[in-house]
Amino acid sequence: MAQLLSGTAVSAKVLERIAEETRTLPVQPTLAVIIVGDDPASRVYVNNKKKACAKAGFRSLEYALPAEAGQAALLGRIAALNADPSVHGILCQMPLPKSFGYDEQEVAQAISPEKDVDAFHPVNVGHIMLGEPLFQPCTPAGVLELLDDAGISLAGKHVAVVGRSNIVGKPMALLALHRHATVTVCHSRTADLAAVTRQADVLIVAVGRANFITADMIRDGAVVVDVGMNRLDSGKLCGDVDFAAAQAKASWITPVPGGVGPMTIAMLMRNTLTAAKASCGILGMK
């Protein structure tokens, strides 16, 4: 029976460490969140980020724009926050409303790289590629923090990443490479996916399809990290991995919910702390 990689427990420890460091800073880290429209899932995510800010001792700012506000209004709000020295981190909650012509790539590029705590700006993506990031991409960094807490090293391991998104799959592969893993990135056109995943010492899944990975696709004793978050017709949340079956085969596994999700928010707080430290010239950032 696999041991649990609990994001709930590990994120609480991370936020406690961040709060301790925050108390020593000459500035209060400030995170500004922009939400456009009234998507219920986005509202839940924004509220969770505000709660994390409170635990970390940060100042939290929220700017809610109506769905019909338009690209120009959104870019104007970002420009104002870029120019505000009291704001250290800026994020725009995605996805943006699809029916009003928003350009998410333009929005990501509008946020100053020094305040881009989601690490979506091309400048920050380039630094991630080079292995010298100012900000770690939040979800992949959260995965690594979970593994570190459990004492699981990636050095010399075969890591299979299922999914190639710019938010999770690609940066996850890069961070694993920087940890000296041998990495295979799988996707919808991978031939005989199960043959690849069964070779993995560490299997990281981020495809957005409920129970997509079944037990027969997992190597005995593998570490399984489920980044997925799906809602079934019953209303129950589940991941991309058939948890009950996989738990009997893996050595470690993340639950859904309570696995990677809390870690993503904790890493967002860590990036905001880094941005605040950078703003006042403090070195030793991680």
Strands 202-205 and 158-162, sheet pairing: parallel
AA identity, residue 285: M
d(CA 136, CA 9): 20
To the query of whether residue 50 is one of the catalytic residues in this protein, the response is no
Distance CA 26, CA 30 (A): 13
Residue 136 is among the residues annotated as catalytic for this protein: no
Q: Do the strands 230-231 and 237-238 form a parallel or antiparallel pair, or are they unpaired?
A: antiparallel
Question: Which one of the listed residues 3, 13, 38, 49 is annotated catalytic?
Answer: 49
**Rounded distance between C-alpha atoms, residue 160 and residue 164, angstroms:** 11
DSSP state of 241: B
Annotated catalytic residue, options 93, 116, 240, 277: 93
For residues 159 and 183, the answer to whether their CB atoms sit within 8 Å is yes
Q: Is 170 a catalytic residue?
A: no
**What sign does the dihedral 157-161-164-166 (CA atoms) show?**
negative
Following CA atoms 208, 212, 218, 224 in sequence, which dihedral angle do they give, to the nearest 10 degrees? 30
**Half-sphere exposure (Cβ direction) of 230: Cα atoms closer than 13 Å:** 19
Ordered strands of the 30-36 beta sheet? 59-65, 30-36, 89-92
What is the rounded end-to-end Cα distance, in angstroms, of the chain?
A: 34
Catalytic choice (115, 116, 118, 240): 118
Q: Alpha-carbon dihedral of residues 132, 116, 166, 127, nearest 10 degrees?
A: -20
Whats the size of the chain, residue-wise? 286
Sign of CA dihedral 207, 140, 57, 20: positive
- Catalytic residue list: 49, 93, 118
